[in-house]
Amino acid sequence: MKKFLLFLLVLVMSVSIFAKTQVVFWHYWDGENGRKLDSLVKDFNSVHPDIEVKAVFIPGSDLMTKIQTSVLSGQTPDMAISDIISVPLVIDTGKVIDLMPFVKRDKYDLSDFYESTLVYGKVGGKLFTIPVSSSNLALFWNKDLFKKAGLDPERPPRTWDELVQYGKTIKEKTGKFGYELYLDGGEGTTWQWQIFLWQAGGEFLDPNKGYRTATFNSKAAVKALQFWVDLTNTYKISPIASWGLFSRGEAAMVMDGSWMTQFFPAQVDFELGSAIFPYPSDGKPATNMGGEQIFIFDTSKEREEACWQFIQWFTSTKVQVDWDKATGFIPVKQSVAKDPSYNAYIKNTNRLLLPFIEAQQYAHARPPIKEYSQVSDIVARAIISAVYKRGTPQEVLNDAAKQVNALLGKE
Amino acid sequence: MLERVGGPKARHFFQKEKISLGVFLIPAIVIVLVFSLFPAFYSFFLSFFSWNGFSPTKEFVGLKNYRTALNDPELKNSIIVTLIYSLLVTFISIFLGMMIALALNEDLKGKKLLRLFYFIPVVTPSVASGITWKYLFDPYNGVINSLLKYLNITGPQWLNSTSWALFSVSIVGIWKRIGFCMVIYLAAIQDIPNSYLEAAQVDGATGWHMLRYIKFPLLMPSTFFLIITGLIDAFQVFDLVYTMTNGGPIGATDVLGFLLYRHAFKYFNLGYASIVSLTIFIVLFILSAIQWRYTQGGAKNVG
Residue of A nearest to B264 (CA): A65
- 10 Å CB burial of residue B20 (0-12, 13-18, 19+) is exposed
Give the right CATH number for B67-294 from 1.20.140.10, 3.30.1490.20, 1.25.40.20, 1.10.3720.10.
1.10.3720.10
- 10 Å CB burial of residue A307 (0-12, 13-18, 19+) is buried
pLDDT in the model for residue A154 = 96
Contacts of B251 in chain A (CB under 8 A): 381
Q: Which amino acid is at A177?
A: F
- What angle (nearest 5°) sits at the alpha carbon of residue A258, between those of residues A357 and A324? 60
Bridge partners of residue A82, in order along the sequence? A293
User: Across the A/B interface, how many CB contacts are shorter than 8 Å?
Assistant: 71
**C-alpha–C-alpha distance, residues B33 and B13, integer Å:** 28
Asked if B248 lies within 8 A of A250 by C-beta distance, the reply is no
**C-alpha–C-alpha distance, residues A232 and A210, integer Å:** 34
Going by their DSSP bridges, the two strands A363-364 and A287-296 should be labelled as: parallel
- Within 10 A of B106 (CB to CB), how many other CB atoms are there? 7
pLDDT in the model for residue B154 = 86
* pLDDT tens-digit profile, chain A (411 residues): 667 766 766 666 665 555 789 999 999 999 889 999 999 999 999 999 999 999 999 999 899 999 999 999 999 999 999 999 999 999 999 999 999 999 999 999 999 999 999 999 999 899 999 999 999 999 999 999 999 999 999 999 999 999 999 999 999 999 999 999 999 999 999 999 999 999 999 999 999 988 999 999 999 999 999 999 999 999 999 999 889 899 999 999 999 999 999 899 999 999 999 999 999 999 999 999 999 999 999 999 999 999 999 999 999 999 999 999 999 999 999 999 999 999 999 999 999 999 999 999 999 999 999 999 999 999 999 999 999 999 999 999 999 999 999 999 854
Asked if B246 lies within 8 A of A410 by C-beta distance, the reply is no
pLDDT in the model for residue A15 = 55
3-state SS, residue B93? helix
Whether B300 shows a pLDDT value over 90: the answer reads no
Question: Which residues numbered 224-263 in A keep a CB inside 8 Å of some CB on B?
Answer: 239-242, 245, 248, 250
Contacts of A92 in chain B (CB under 8 A): 52, 54-55
Bridge partners of residue A180, in order along the sequence? A254
Ordered alpha helix ranges (H), chain B: 2-16, 18-32, 38-46, 64-70, 73-105, 111-123, 126-137, 143-150, 165-191, 194-202, 207-210, 216-235, 239-244, 256-261, 270-294
**C-alpha–C-alpha distance, residues A46 and A20, integer Å:** 12
**C-alpha–C-alpha distance, residues A239 and A361, integer Å:** 31
Question: Which residues numbered 48-107 in A keep a CB inside 8 Å of some CB on B?
Answer: 65, 67-68, 71-72, 89-90, 92-95
Closest partner residue to B248 (CB to CB) among A72, A185, A239 is A185
3-state SS, residue A22? strand
3-state SS, residue B251? coil
Contacts of A410 in chain B (CB under 8 A): 50
Q: Which amino acid is at B224?
A: F
Contacts of B52 in chain A (CB under 8 A): 89, 92, 370
b/e code A255-293 from CB counts within 10 Å (16+ = b):
bbbbbbbeebeeebebebbbbbbbbbeebebbbbbbbbb
**Best residue in A242, A243, A373, A404 for a mutation probing chain B (most B CBs within 10 Å):** A242
DSSP state of A293: E
DSSP state of B160: G
Please state the pTM of the whole predicted model.
0.87
**C-alpha–C-alpha distance, residues B199 and A285, integer Å:** 85
Residue of B nearest to A370 (CA): B267
- Within 10 A of B220 (CB to CB), how many other CB atoms are there? 11
- Helix (H) / strand (E) element for A265: namely helix A260-267
Q: How confident is the model at residue B21 (pLDDT cuts 50, 70, 90)?
A: confident
For residues B95-119, give the mean pLDDT: 89
Q: ipTM of this model?
A: 0.83
Whether B170 shows a pLDDT value over 90: the answer reads yes
Residue of B nearest to A378 (CA): B250
pLDDT in the model for residue B1 = 43
Asked if B248 lies within 8 A of A92 by C-beta distance, the reply is no
Q: Which amino acid is at A306?
A: A
Q: Does B60 touch chain A (CB under 8 A)?
A: no
Whether B303 shows a pLDDT value over 50: the answer reads no
pLDDT in the model for residue B206 = 86
Distance of CA A128 to the CA centre of its chain: 18
**C-alpha–C-alpha distance, residues A272 and A261, integer Å:** 9
Q: Is residue B240 within 8 Å of B256, Cβ to Cβ? A: no
What residue spans define the domains of chain B? 67-294
Closest partner residue to B249 (CB to CB) among A92, A374, A384 is A384
Contacts of A390 in chain B (CB under 8 A): 250
**C-alpha–C-alpha distance, residues A355 and A375, integer Å:** 30
Asked if B249 lies within 8 A of A242 by C-beta distance, the reply is no
pLDDT in the model for residue A365 = 94
**C-alpha–C-alpha distance, residues A178 and A139, integer Å:** 12
Q: How confident is the model at residue B14 (pLDDT cuts 50, 70, 90)?
A: low
> Which of left, alpha, beta for B268 (phi over 0: left; psi -120 to 50: alpha)?
left
Q: How confident is the model at residue B12 (pLDDT cuts 50, 70, 90)?
A: low
Distance of CA B82 to the CA centre of its chain: 11
**C-alpha–C-alpha distance, residues A320 and A303, integer Å:** 23
Q: Is residue A375 within 8 Å of A382, Cβ to Cβ? A: no
pLDDT in the model for residue B2 = 45
pLDDT in the model for residue A373 = 94
pLDDT in the model for residue B7 = 57
Instruction: Provide the strand spans (E) within A349-391.
Output: 363-364
Nearest to A238 by CA among A137, A155, A168, A145: A168
In percent, the amount of chain B with pLDDT more than 70 equals: 92
- Within 10 A of B193 (CB to CB), how many other CB atoms are there? 10
DSSP state of B264: I
Q: Does A389 touch chain B (CB under 8 A)?
A: no
Whether B289 shows a pLDDT value over 80: the answer reads yes
Q: Does A395 touch chain B (CB under 8 A)?
A: no
Closest partner residue to A89 (CB to CB) among B139, B140, B268 is B268
Whether B298 shows a pLDDT value over 80: the answer reads no
Q: Which amino acid is at B274?
A: S
Nearest CA-CA distance, residue A365 and chain B, Å: 19
For residues B72-87, give the mean pLDDT: 95
- Within 10 A of B41 (CB to CB), how many other CB atoms are there? 10
Please name each of the domains of chain A with its CATH number: 20-135+290-364 (3.40.190.10), 136-289+367-408 (3.40.190.10)
DSSP state of B192: S
Asked if B249 lies within 8 A of A183 by C-beta distance, the reply is yes
What is chain A's length?
A: 411
Nearest CA-CA distance, residue B135 and chain A, Å: 10
Q: Does B135 touch chain A (CB under 8 A)?
A: no
pLDDT in the model for residue B108 = 79
Instruction: Provide the strand spans (E) within A278-351.
Output: 287-296
Nearest CA-CA distance, residue B149 and chain A, Å: 17
Asked if B250 lies within 8 A of A385 by C-beta distance, the reply is yes
3-state SS, residue A177? strand
What is chain B's length?
A: 303
Q: At what angle do helices B270-294 and B73-105 cross, to 10 degrees?
A: 40
Q: Does B146 touch chain A (CB under 8 A)?
A: no
